[in-house]
Amino acid sequence: MLSFVTGSIGQTWRIATGATYALGKDTDINVSWAMVWLGDMPVEQTKPTTGNQLCSQFDNAWIQAVTGNMTWRF
pTM to 2 decimals? 0.67
Q: How many domains does the chain have?
A: 1
At 14-61, the pLDDT tens digits run 999 999 999 999 999 999 999 999 888 888 888 888 888 888 888 888
pLDDT greater at residue 64 or residue 5: 64
Q: Is residue 52 part of a domain?
A: no
Separation of alpha carbons 27 and 74, rounded Å: 9
* Any domain includes 21: yes
In a domain, residue 24? The reply is: yes
Classify residue 63: in a domain, yes or no.
no
Residue spans of beta strands (DSSP E) within 1-74: 13-22, 27-46, 53-72
Q: Which residue range is the domain that position 31 belongs to?
A: 8-45
CA-CA distance, 54 to 56, in Å (whole number)? 7
